[in-house]
Chain A
Amino acid sequence: MTPTRRKRLALVAVIVLGVGAATAVAITALNDNMLYFVSPSDVYADAAPPDRRIRLGGLVAAGSVKRDPDSLAVAFMVTDGRHEVPVSFEGILPDLFREGQGVIAHGHLDGTGRFHADEVLARHDETYMPPEVMRSLEAAGHPPEASES
């Protein structure tokens, strides 16, 4: 390799490493702002101020969904296994919404610790399998862990 080419190769390496290092610093500084949602435990730990809009993510607690028969209002608990936050919502829920399913609710906490959502999104995990496999897993007593990563 000629000296000129060696110099250019070094320049290429400097560009890639330099931009990488700069980005790593920026990303570390912005880390908290890159989160799309916070968990119920975060809500408890931070004592999130009422009326600040946040996204709350977790699983819909089993047996917690209560629908109002006369309107679109629905109430449920969002859990991460350690803490639960009660959520109320009025509107159409996504098809994947069900108990045990991951959801992300966008809204705010009121003074009593209840979360008022104006948008509820369903979050599915990375597992894909045919229904028969799921049924045999359930029959064997090993339903796959609904993972929240």
Chain B
Amino acid sequence: MIFHRLKVGFHRLGSPPTFHKLCRILSPWLWAGFVACTAIGLYQALYVVPPDYQQGDSFRILYIHVPAAWQAMAGYVIMAILAAIALVWRIRTVEIMTMAAAPVGAAFTALCLATGSLWGKPMWGTWWAWDARLTSMLVLLFIYLGIMGLYAAFEDRRKGARVACILVLVGLVNIPLIHFSVEWWTTLHQGSTINLFGESKMHPSMLPPLIWMAIAVKLMFGGALLDRSRNDLVDQDRRKRWIRDVIGEEA
């Protein structure tokens, strides 16, 4: 019985007016949570956490760099799951969500690369190195941009989304490469500090802001994903009756 109701609820999300309403209700909460978590996280990162024994205060950029990198990769996995659903069930709102995830993921990837570069210059002595970790992360940015470009290249948005969804699945192979690059090959980039299934190499006093920022970027990804999806949906359906009903209700 419960399973049946969940299934009905899931199928209702495929209906544009219901999906539109859900995005409109959820997104402000996600954005508010993002602002609150970022405020706590940044305050702790800049004022509470002690400096590092080797890198001094410079290491604090980690509290932007690492959550951005995690979200760039987690965002891709979410996008790939949405792409699989979109390809198998052909639900239009899911296709729209998949395509809305790409620019957000690309932004986090770019943020990760930019902060990494700013951090690399004073610590390593170089802005960039063609090692396995940095290169695979740059490839991730190009994959994101490729998905966006492919989607935009089709006159028929649904056809464009389906073709781009296949590229999303193809690019998924890069995610384990990014993660294991520092283990499989020698790199200039350090190994993993945080291990979910083992001992982390960060002193516990430095961890709380990292957790706050990791939650913050997840909420921001969700907020931006829902907003972008809603905008794309309204744009595609702008001549339809339900939009006129919704806009009329808002105005």
Contacts and interface: CB of A to CB of B under 8 A. Distances in A.
A127 to B, nearest CB: 5
A39 B51 CA distance: 31
Interface string B114-149: 000000001111100111100000000000000000
B27 interface: no
Contacts of A95: 122-123
A125 B186 contact: no
Interface stretch (B15-23, B53-61, B98-106, B213-221): B53-61
B59 A19 contact: no
A67 B176 CA distance: 43
A57 interface: yes
Interface residues on B, range: 35 or more
**A-side interface mostly:** mixed
Given A35-B186, A36-B129, A123-B188, A5 B52 contact: no
Nearest to B169: A15
A131 interface: yes
Contacts of B246: none
Interface stretch (B3-11, B190-198, B224-232, B235-243): B190-198
B13 interface: no
Interface residues of A, number: 43
A97 B190 CA distance: 15
A8 B87 contact: yes
B79 to A, nearest CB: 13
Given A127-B202, A130-B206, 15 more contacts: A23-B173, A34-B132, A35-B186, A39-B186, A57-B186, A94-B125, A95-B123, A121-B129, A126-B192, A126-B201, A128-B193, A128-B202, A128-B206, A129-B52, A131-B53
Interface of A: 5, 8-9, 11-12, 15-16, 19-20, 23, 27, 31, 34-39, 57, 93-97, 104, 119-134, 147, 149
